[in-house]
Every structure is written in structure tokens, then in C-alpha cells.
Chains A and B, each alone.
Chain A
Amino acid sequence: MNMIDRGKTSALSCCSDELVKKVLAVADGTITDENIVNNVLEHIATCDSCLELYKTYFEVFADSTIADECNTVDVEINCSNGSLIPLSTAFVMSQQAAVLSSGDNSVVEINYPFDDSIISIKCSYKEDAFDVAVYSDKSIKVHLITNTKHEILTTGSLPAVFRAIGDENILLLFDLRKALKIRLNKN
């Protein structure tokens, strides 16, 4: 990917970055100034690439039936007196992921399908914090994102273990291709 393109909108069209930003801001109603709105509308009347961007915005956001299919799974885990209890949602109970609890309820294992294999995510609780270990027979770069930190570890012969996670939402990204959101609750 070209670093120069990152965060810039001008690559969306042959027009200037400033103009494309105005097109987007008029589309979502951030800009309401009549003169600017009319200037933008007059521009898109004769600029095919900006018109395509503008139309696509409305097609994506004006439709309440926006595609629900996504590659993220949400799991919620409660910790009560040191025991972990998975609160499976209907989505989690689908074929995409199965949540299994170990005998003593201190570890919750999530089996998550990824790239023709299964990633095993084991959540445990000790010393007032959660640990999340990711096991895979493949080498996968795992990003852990919480409200306060972003760590990257790689699975391999050893699991990728993220330690000392608080009572919060965490996001696990596997090779930045699939995502698993886990809500860790401490009661």
C-alpha cells in the first residue's frame, strides 16, 4: 500500500483532497452552508468520479438494510468469584464460533475458525486481571486492542499470551483479516 494515500481522500477522485472532503461532508450533512452545498452539487454534476463517490455514499448509508454479514464475532465473559462464565449470544452460538467452558469454570475457551483452521482462545482470570492466550498451529500475527493499549504478538510453537487485561472490551485481530471482540466483565 502506498503510504502517501493513507488518510487522504484525493485518491478517491482526480479532484483535490479539499474538494473530495467537501463532497463527503455535503453527503453526510456536516456541511449545510447553501453556497458550499450548491458549489459541490454543481461540481458533481460534471465530475463522474465525485458523483460516483457521492451516489455510493447514499446507497450505502441510506439503506437501512445495510449488509449484516460481517467477519467479527462478539463474545461476552463474566467473572464471578474467580470463575469465568461465558454469556453466549445467538451470533456466537452460530457455526462461526463455539464457546466451551472448562470444568472448573476458570478458563473459557473460544474456538474460532480462521483460514481453514481453528484458533483456540483461552481466557483466564487471576490476580484481579484477565489473561488471553491465543493458540494456533499456524503463525498468525495477533493484535490486541483495548481502550488503553495495542499489543502485537505472533502465534507459533508457543501461544500468544496477552496478560493483565482489565474489566473492558478487547478486540483481537488475526492477521488483520478477522476480528473477535470480547467483553470481559468482572462482577
Chain B
Amino acid sequence: MNFCSLNFFIMSIFMIGSDKNINQILLDNISLIFKIINTICIKKSVNLTEDEKEDIFQNVCVNLLSGGIANFRGECKFETYLFSIIFNEIKNYLRKIHNNVSIHQRSALYDTNGDAEGISLEEKLSINEDILGDIIKDELYRDIFEIAASLKKIDYLIFKLYFIDNKTQKEVAEMCKRSQATISERIVYIQRIIRSEIIKRYGNIRDFM
């Protein structure tokens, strides 16, 4: 038995949180690894070549075979754990290979472009752009974010997901572990608070609604 086999055998013995051994887990999930890599790349607009994806696949396999699977303690689903390892590998890869560009930065860039074609933040908050006069958009956005940040943290999260990331109410409800009706109420509340606060700060803005 070579070192690798011995290491694998020892890890198999100490495997916790699953009835399957490491070999079976890898056999069952090998296709999922590449699917998750592809899906993260698609969802986050990370343009990697097939070779680069294979590099990440290789790193993930090395990670799993050299302790990654054995370190799984069942604190979440195995596919979630796998996702976290892959997410980490892609982040590290982008950091090393693509001049320190993070998934977050790429995502933010994508979201900004997306907003340009979709409904603007002002529209979503029912603040009519035409009557903002000389207010610089950057200033307005800074104020909106400042007001949103002063809300309860859970409302601030809903603000980020619904108003900034353009998630649907259903998606926000799922992510915030609340009913859609509750999220709908909170959205109306957040909208009202931000709008009234903006109107207070910029007295010259008339309320069109």
C-alpha cells in the first residue's frame, strides 16, 4: 500500500457525518463538481476557458483527496460543503491568475450593468428621477444607502437583495427564511422609510406618487 492509499484508508476510517466512505462520496459527486464550477462561472459572469475550469476541477479533486472529504463533519449538506470548496477555489484562482479580480468585484460589475437596462433604484423606491433637479445621482445613492444601513439589519438585508440585487420577492423570502407576505410588507415599509427620509433631506423634491 503506497502512502496515498494508506492516507486514503486512514481518512476512510475517520470519516464522520456520512454512512458512505470517501471513495463512494467521490464516485457519487464527481459530476456535480464540474456542474457547480460551470454554474458559478455562469451565474457570476466569470469567463474561464475550459483549461482554466479543468485547473479548478483539479484543485478541487486534490483538495478533496488530501483531506477535504475527511474534514466534512456534517454541519451542512455535503453538496453545500462541496460548493464552499469550489467557491473558494474559484476565488483563489481568480486572485492568482486574473490579477486579483474577485468574484464579488465581477459580480458587482455585472449587477451595475444589469441595473442600467432594468428598473433603476430611484424607480424602485418611487423617487421620480425627473424631479431630482441638481441632485447628483452619486449623492442620492450615498444617502439612500446611508438610510438603508440605519434600518434594522434584516431590513437592510432585504434592501440589498430586493432593491440592489434585483431578486424577486419569492427569492428574497427564500433567502431570508420568511414568508413572501412578510417580505412584501417589509419592502413597502423600507420603500416608505427611504422615500420619506430622502424627501426630508432634499426639500425641493415633490412627491409625485
C-alpha spacing A27/B81, complex, angstroms: 11
Judge whether A66 is part of the interface by a CB distance below 8 angstroms: yes
> In the assembled complex, which residues on chain A have CB atoms less than 8 Å from the CB atom of B38?
67, 69-70
Judge whether A71 is part of the interface by a CB distance below 8 angstroms: yes
Interface string of B57-83 (1 = CB under 8 A from A): 111011101111111100111011101
B181 to nearest A CB, angstroms? 18
B171 adjacent to A58 (CB under 8 Å):
yes
Judge whether A8 is part of the interface by a CB distance below 8 angstroms: yes
B174 adjacent to A62 (CB under 8 Å):
yes
Judge whether B188 is part of the interface by a CB distance below 8 angstroms: no
A145 with B23, Cβ < 8 A, contacts A24-B76, A44-B157, A66-B35 known? yes
A45 adjacent to B157 (CB under 8 Å):
yes
Within 8 Å by CB of B103, from A42, A52, A176, lies: A52
B2 adjacent to A152 (CB under 8 Å):
yes
> In the assembled complex, which residues on chain B have CB atoms less than 8 Å from the CB atom of A150?
4-5, 8, 23, 65
Judge whether B30 is part of the interface by a CB distance below 8 angstroms: yes
B57 to nearest A CB, angstroms? 6
C-alpha spacing A26/B62, complex, angstroms: 27
> In the assembled complex, which residues on chain B have CB atoms less than 8 Å from the CB atom of A46?
153, 156
Interface string of B133-149 (1 = CB under 8 A from A): 00000000000000000
Judge whether B119 is part of the interface by a CB distance below 8 angstroms: no
C-alpha spacing A98/B21, complex, angstroms: 31
A171 with B27, Cβ < 8 A, contacts A11-B92, A24-B80 known? yes
A20 to nearest B CB, angstroms? 8
C-alpha spacing A10/B206, complex, angstroms: 48
> In the assembled complex, which residues on chain A have CB atoms less than 8 Å from the CB atom of B23?
145-150
Chain B residues with a Cβ closer than 8 Å to the other chain, count:
65
> In the assembled complex, which residues on chain A have CB atoms less than 8 Å from the CB atom of B35?
66-70
> In the assembled complex, which residues on chain B have CB atoms less than 8 Å from the CB atom of A145?
23, 26-27
C-alpha spacing A72/B29, complex, angstroms: 11
A52 with B107, Cβ < 8 A, contacts A57-B80, A58-B171, A59-B43 known? yes
- Interface of chain A residues 125 through 144 with chain B (CB within 8 A): 143
A27 with B80, Cβ < 8 A, contacts A67-B38, A146-B23 known? yes
Judge whether B128 is part of the interface by a CB distance below 8 angstroms: no
> In the assembled complex, which residues on chain B have CB atoms less than 8 Å from the CB atom of A66?
35-36, 39
Interface string of B13-49 (1 = CB under 8 A from A): 0000000010110110011001110111011100000
A53 with B84, Cβ < 8 A, contacts A71-B34, A151-B5 known? yes
- Interface of chain A residues 16 through 70 with chain B (CB within 8 A): 20-21, 24-28, 30, 37-38, 41-42, 44-46, 48-49, 51-63, 66-70
C-alpha spacing A53/B177, complex, angstroms: 16
Within 8 Å by CB of A37, from B2, B59, B76, B177, lies: B177
B151 to nearest A CB, angstroms? 9
> In the assembled complex, which residues on chain B have CB atoms less than 8 Å from the CB atom of A38?
154
